[in-house]
Chain A
Amino acid sequence: MTAASESGSAGAGASPVTPSQTVGPFFGYALPYEAGPEVVPGWRPDAIRVRGRVLDGAGEPVPDALLEIWQADETGEIPRRPGGLARAGHDFSGFGRCGTDPDGGFWFTTVKPGPIGAAAPYIAVLVFARGLLKHVFTRLYFPEDAAAHAADPLLGDVPDERRATLIAEREGERRYRFDIHLQGERETVFLGF
């Protein structure tokens, strides 16, 4: 690697916004925390469990990714109180964080969010990883909501053949699977935020 050439990109520097940089490989001792994946405790009768893997363009696991989820509660209300870092009793903070394991795996226990407005119920999902110079945004929708999906403003904009990448698979009672493909034939739909 030699010194990179001077920048020539048009409009560069016009925005005051601080640029993104990769989370790198060494966040594991800093960002994940013990109750991070447990938005609600798994023993709660209304808890759902979501698990999945993060995979690269060759289908290989991404063992150094970090996922964050953010969502409304069962009634569609967005939490406005703290509690995402230190889980307190029955307070629902709506925020979860989980680093991937050597197999690219992650999990969360949470509740299924209620719908907001015209949108079908969904969980907002962020993925950070070594090799991602900027995080990616996606959404997790639920397979049992097919009727609501037909009217969902985002899903309507997604080409038919890619829509399934946003919909979790049912694995059992209150259990879902949601794999994230960063690249490749089954690349997950990512959002342009």
Chain B
Amino acid sequence: MDKAEASPHPPYLYPGYKSTVLRAPAQELIMPKLGPDSVELTSPVFGHQELGRRDFDLTVQHPGEPLGERIIVTGRVLDTAGRPVRNALVEVWQANAAGRYPHLGDLHPAPLDPNFTGAGRCLTGDDGRYRFITIKPGAYPWGNHHNAWRPAHIHYSVFGTAFTQRLVTQMYFPGDPLFAYDPIFQSIPGEKDREKLIARFDMDTTEPEWALGYQWDIVLGDTPTEAR
């Protein structure tokens, strides 16, 4: 299989996203011969006792409720055969409803929300499912080019069953008018691959009088042995 041809991932160098220019590796990657016991074919495991009971609910981490549109975001972590990845650690972080991160480097003059930090985590269940309660993040400006705005997104970090499956990505919301202008989203070469990062609004996930629901599945790559 020609791996480069089938890769859904962005290239390292994508000059439209300026920070790639001096940070993208330029040399050819080397694929190591892995033995069955190679450390990269295994993954750290995480346990429920390491997480807070309410880490999955980003709306209850402070004395008051955050401002914004309350949402439920859920989906499954799967392998390429569609099998659930159980006990996978899923970490998320995001801007608040106004598009602001509680990070010293975020200079966007939008209000911080004292009732919203915007970080959560959970472990997937036996069906590979994760679930977060949060608020819909706002779009925010960034310095990449004149009038640059990021579409609303939630950052995701996921562990699989092999360290080679490690994935950090971003989930977007359907119908965002900023997609066409965002070099980070557009850095993914395939249109169908870009669409995989867009969550689906789901009325069945939506809870009456309480929160809108979105579904977003995550598919982790094959381990190098499986791909062979």
Asked if residues B168 and A7 are in contact (CB atoms below 8 Å), the reply is: no
Asked if residues A133 and B12 are in contact (CB atoms below 8 Å), the reply is: yes
Asked if residues A4 and B23 are in contact (CB atoms below 8 Å), the reply is: no
Identity of the chain B residue whose Cβ is nearest the Cβ of A86 in the assembled complex: B50
Contacts of A147 in B (CB 8 A): none
A101 CB to nearest B CB, Å: 13
Contact with A along B164-191 (1 / 0, CB 8 A): 1011111000000000110111111111
Asked if residues B106 and A7 are in contact (CB atoms below 8 Å), the reply is: no
A107 to B220, CA, bound (A): 29
- Other-chain residue from A14, A124, A153, A157 in contact with B40 (beta carbon distance below 8 A): A124
Interface residues of B in 80-107 (CB under 8 A from A): 80, 89, 91-93, 95, 101-103, 105-106
Contacts of B20 in A (CB 8 A): 131-133
Asked if residues B117 and A29 are in contact (CB atoms below 8 Å), the reply is: yes
A81 to B42, CA, bound (A): 12
Asked if residues A4 and B32 are in contact (CB atoms below 8 Å), the reply is: no
Identity of the chain A residue whose Cβ is nearest the Cβ of B163 in the assembled complex: A70
Identity of the chain A residue whose Cβ is nearest the Cβ of B147 in the assembled complex: A1
At the interface, yes or no: A100 with Cβ under 8 Å from chain B?
Answer: no
Identity of the chain B residue whose Cβ is nearest the Cβ of A60 in the assembled complex: B22
Say yes or no: A78-B191 contact (C-beta < 8 A), given A134-B10, A158-B30, A189-B30: no
Stretch at the interface among A16-24, A42-50, A171-179: A16-24
Contacts of A93 in B (CB 8 A): 44
A44 to B122, CA, bound (A): 31
B191 CB to nearest A CB, Å: 4
Given contacts A17-B221, A68-B166, A191-B32, 7 further A-B contacts (CB under 8 A): A13-B192, A18-B218, A56-B22, A131-B23, A133-B11, A136-B12, A162-B27
Interface residues of A in 133-158 (CB under 8 A from B): 133-137, 139, 153-154, 157-158
B118 CB to nearest A CB, Å: 7
Interface residues of B in 173-223 (CB under 8 A from A): 180-181, 183-194, 196-197, 217-222
Asked if residues B32 and A14 are in contact (CB atoms below 8 Å), the reply is: no
Asked if residues A191 and B183 are in contact (CB atoms below 8 Å), the reply is: no
- Other-chain residue from B106, B148, B187, B191 in contact with A1 (beta carbon distance below 8 A): B148
Say yes or no: A72-B39 contact (C-beta < 8 A), given A27-B93, A183-B26: yes
Asked if residues A189 and B27 are in contact (CB atoms below 8 Å), the reply is: yes
Q: What are 29 residue pairs bridging A and B, where the CB atoms are less than 8 Å apart in the complex?
A: A1-B144, A1-B183, A4-B183, A4-B186, A9-B189, A11-B5, A12-B192, A18-B8, A18-B220, A20-B168, A21-B170, A22-B168, A25-B103, A56-B23, A80-B45, A94-B44, A116-B37, A119-B35, A124-B40, A128-B168, A131-B20, A133-B9, A153-B33, A158-B30, A162-B27, A190-B25, A191-B29, A191-B30, A191-B32
Asked if residues B38 and A119 are in contact (CB atoms below 8 Å), the reply is: yes
Q: Which of B46, B193, B220 has the most CB of A within 10 A?
A: B193
A178 to B193, CA, bound (A): 35
Contacts of B197 in A (CB 8 A): 18-19, 21
For chain B, the count of residues having a C-beta within 8 Å of the partner chain is 91
For chain A, the count of residues having a C-beta within 8 Å of the partner chain is 84
At the interface, yes or no: A83 with Cβ under 8 Å from chain B?
Answer: yes
B92 CB to nearest A CB, Å: 8
Contacts of B105 in A (CB 8 A): 25-26, 28, 64
Asked if residues A19 and B46 are in contact (CB atoms below 8 Å), the reply is: no
Contacts of A57 in B (CB 8 A): 21-23, 26
Asked if residues A3 and B168 are in contact (CB atoms below 8 Å), the reply is: no
Contacts of B74 in A (CB 8 A): none
At the interface, yes or no: A95 with Cβ under 8 Å from chain B?
Answer: yes
Asked if residues A21 and B23 are in contact (CB atoms below 8 Å), the reply is: no
